Amino acid sequence: MDRVRAFAREKLKMQSDKMKQRLDTTSTETAFEPNDAVWLYALKRTKGRRPKLQNNWEGPYTIIKKINDLVYHIQLSPRSKPKVVQLERLARYIGHDSPDWFVVEDPPPRSVTFVKCH
């Protein structure tokens, strides 16, 4: 029974390694920084229109903040509500009219002044 279990573990490990290798060859690691322009994949179905002919990409959005390696805050315009999305729904925007309304700047230094009142 132990030999059969060891044989099964070995085969599972080989298959797992093969699947990981296949995934690693096809995946591309992408990271975005604040102020990068991106497309958002938002699957919408419009009645009366073939899904094949619909545009599922919205944007360009601007990266506002990187929460972690897989989650980002994005915003379409200065007045729109920010969205929290995963990396797999984003694609880099390549174009001439990228949004430039969001600029990451260091906040000005705070100066504290004390006023003496009599």
Measured distance CA(73)–CA(89) in Å, rounded: 12
Rg (the chain; Cα; Å): 24
Q: Cite the DSSP H helix spans in the chain.
A: 2-26
Q: Are 34 and 64 in contact (CB under 8 A)?
A: yes
- What number does CATH give the domain 30-98? 2.30.30.140
pLDDT at 45 over 90: no
Q: Is the pTM of this model over 0.95?
A: no
- What are the boundaries of each domain within the chain? 30-98
pLDDT at 49 over 60: yes
Measured distance CA(49)–CA(6) in Å, rounded: 54
pLDDT digits (tens, 9 = 90+) for 82-117: 999 999 899 999 877 666 666 655 555 666 555 566
